[in-house]
Amino acid sequence: MIDIEGLTKRYGAHTAVQDVSFRCEPGTVTGFLGPNGAGKSTTMRMLCGLTSPSAGRSSVLGVPFRELPNPGREVGVLLDASAQHAGRTGREILTVSARVLGVGDDRVEELLELVQLSGDRARRRAGDYSLGMRQRLGIAHALLGDPRVLVLDEPANGLDPEGIHWMRGLLRDFADRGGTVLLSSHLLHEIEAVADHLVVIAGGRIVADDSLSALLAGAGVVVRATDTAALRRALAAAELPSVTTTDGAQRVEGEAEAVGRVAAEHGLVLTELRPADRAGLEDLFLSLTTTPAERREEIAA
Ligand SMILES: Nc1ncnc2c1ncn2[C@@H]1O[C@H](COP(=O)(O)OP(=O)(O)O)[C@@H](O)[C@H]1O
Ligand SMILES: [Mg+2]
């Protein structure tokens, strides 16, 4: 369980994180999503006691992180995969931490195996690892003390698609066994397949906090008619705002039934009416995290 309440961080005149509150429940993976510079790392560093907040508080398993008696045995943290000692091998890094945590060497071997860094790879210096390998080592490091909570900042960064798929399975399994996972990313596709819950941050503020299914439902419906112009007019008249998708359909923020009724009242022939799903979520994420001007630039680019 993670509880964040009103966390704020100011750097001089700049407010990096503004009144951020959310919770992560056991048995769930919470995706912490936001563009670069949104305030994800700052929030996670405050949660883990590495940056002191200007205001607000947070707790892990009911107490502030710094008051956990043996944090490594309770919370697995991966904030910066490149922070490991570059001159040590993967095995040495895990072994040193295992000693500190009071964990046996067999656990080190087990984890090297799990993150696919056993054999020759375990004997290479971490400084010679690719970013993806450093992420795998960081995940092994986070799991070493067999924690109940995982806090991972952009762990998919540098992983190839196979690596992302692997991590998804690992985190799903961790949560299904009752663990709590907080996982950040600036890319929706990296976390939508594993997160049950999404907390979206932009410009230091939380702009959405809901289950993935609720967010998907809120993404609206896609509708298509034989007479597109008449459909647009009818939706506008019914005060159901719609936007034209890239392939010429209308995306409507509303329920399928409401849209169906409008079509029926106007005698329109629909050729498609379905939940907007993934594309809708992408759209929603974009609209939550960018200003209209930034969005136009992105579309023009
Ligand atoms: N140590 C710092 N000093 C000054 N500004 C910082 C510092 N750390 C982060 N920031 C600023 O805070 C904002 C949020 O950064 P960060 O939390 O790293 O975002 P994210 O992880 O979402 O990319 C950015 O504008 C960043 O420049
Ligand atoms: Mg960051």
215 burial type by CB count under 10 A (0-12 exposed, 13-18 middle, 19+ buried): buried
Asked if pLDDT for residue 295 goes beyond 60, the answer is: no
Instruction: Determine the CATH number of domain 216-300.
Output: 3.30.70
Distance (Å, whole) CA 298 – CA 61: 41
Tens-digit pLDDT profile for residues 57-92:
999 999 999 999 889 899 999 998 777 778 899 999
Question: Which ligand 1 atom sits closest to the C-alpha of 34?
Answer: 22
Distance (Å, whole) CA 94 – CA 83: 13
CB 16 within 8 A of CB 9: yes
78 alpha carbon, closest ligand = 2
Asked if pLDDT for residue 162 goes beyond 70, the answer is: yes
Q: Which residues line ligand 1 (CB under 6 A)?
A: 11, 16, 34, 36-42
CATH of the structural domain 2-211, one choice from 3.40.50.300, 3.40.30.10, 3.40.50.1220, 3.30.565.10: 3.40.50.300
Question: Which ligand 1 atom sits closest to the C-alpha of 42?
Answer: 17
Kindly report the protein residue whose alpha carbon is nearest to atom 11 of ligand 1. 16
Q: Give the Å distance between the CA of 198 and the centre of ligand 1.
A: 21
Which pair of tokens denotes residue 171?
């985190």
CATH code 3.40.50.300 region(s) in the chain: 2-211
Asked if pLDDT for residue 251 goes beyond 60, the answer is: yes
Question: Which ligand 1 atom sits closest to the C-alpha of 201?
Answer: 22
Q: Give the Å distance between the CA of 15 and the centre of ligand 1.
A: 9
Confidence class of residue 123 from pLDDT cuts 50, 70 and 90? confident
CB 31 within 8 A of CB 140: no
Cα torsion 214, 78, 138, 111 to 10°: value is: -70
CATH code 3.30.70 region(s) in the chain: 216-300
